[in-house]
Amino acid sequence: MLCLWQRAAMATLMTTAIPAADASAHAVCGNRVFPATLVMDDPGVGDELSLPTIQFAPIPAGGGNPSGQTVDYGYEWDKTITKDLGFAVNGDYLTQRGAGQNLNGWDDVTVTLKDELPCSEANEFMVSIGVIREFAGTGSARLASAGAIDTIGNTAPTIYAGKGFGDLPIGYLRPFAVTAELGYQISDAPRSSPGQWAYAASLQYSLPYLQQHVKALGAPAFFGRLIPLVEFAFATPRSGPTTGTISPGVLYEADTWQVGAEAMIPANVATRQSQGMVFIVQFHLFLDDLLPNSLGKPLFDKDLWQ
Please indicate, yes or no, if residue 132 is contained in any of the structural domains: yes
Between vectors from CA 226 to CA 124 and to CA 71, what angle results, nearest 5°? 105
Q: Range of 81's domain?
A: 4-290
Please indicate, yes or no, if residue 81 is contained in any of the structural domains: yes
Whichever domain contains 264, its CATH number is 2.40.160.40
180 pLDDT more than 50: yes
Report CA torsion sign: 58, 72, 36, 150: negative
Q: Quick: pLDDT tens for 86-106.
A: 999 999 999 988 766 789 999
Percent of the chain with pLDDT over 90: 78
Please indicate, yes or no, if residue 67 is contained in any of the structural domains: yes
**DSSP strands (E only) in 36-84:** 48-59, 68-80
* Structure confidence at residue 13 as a pLDDT band (50, 70, 90): very low
Note the pLDDT of residue 64: 66
Note the pLDDT of residue 231: 98
CB count in 10 Å sphere of residue 241: 13
Q: Summarize the confidence of residues 200-223 as an average pLDDT.
A: 94
Please indicate, yes or no, if residue 239 is contained in any of the structural domains: yes
Domain count, the chain: 1
> How many Å apart are CA 10 and CA 65, to the nearest integer?
20
The predicted model scores a pTM of 0.89
4 pLDDT more than 70: no
Please indicate, yes or no, if residue 105 is contained in any of the structural domains: yes
Note the pLDDT of residue 8: 39
Spatial CB neighbours of 55, under 8 Å, sequence gap ≥ 6: 4, 7, 8, 11, 70, 71, 72, 74, 264, 278, 279, 280
> How many Å apart are CA 115 and CA 162, to the nearest integer?
14
Q: Summarize the confidence of residues 112-118 as an average pLDDT.
A: 97
Note the pLDDT of residue 125: 98
Q: Quick: pLDDT tens for 216-273.
A: 888 899 999 999 999 999 999 998 899 999 999 999 999 999 999 999 999 999 988 8
